[in-house]
Structure 1
Amino acid sequence: MKKLVIASNNEGKIKEIKKVLANLPIEVLFLKDMGLDIDVEEDGLTFEDNAKKKSVEIYKELIKKGENNFIVMSDDSGLEVDYLNGEPGVFSARYAGEHGNDKKNNEKLLLNLSGVSNENRKARFVCQLALISDKNEYRTLRGTVEGYILEEEKGHGGFGYDPLFFYEPLNRSFGELTMEEKNKISHRGVALEKVKEIIKELL
Structure 2
Amino acid sequence: MYKALQEAVNAIMPMTDADFVLLDAMTSTFSVLKGQTLMEPGRVCTDIYFLTHGVFRMYYVDPDGREINYRFALENNFMVDFQSFLSRKPSHYYWQAMENARGFAFSYNDVQEAYRQSRNWERFGRLMAEQVYQQVNERIELLQFLTPEQRYLHVVATQPALVNQISQFHLSSYLGVTPESLSRIRKRLSQH
TM-score normalized by the length of structure 2: 0.29
Indicate the structure whose relative CO is greater, using CA pairs within 8 Å and at least 6 residues apart: 2
**Larger helix fraction of residues:** 2
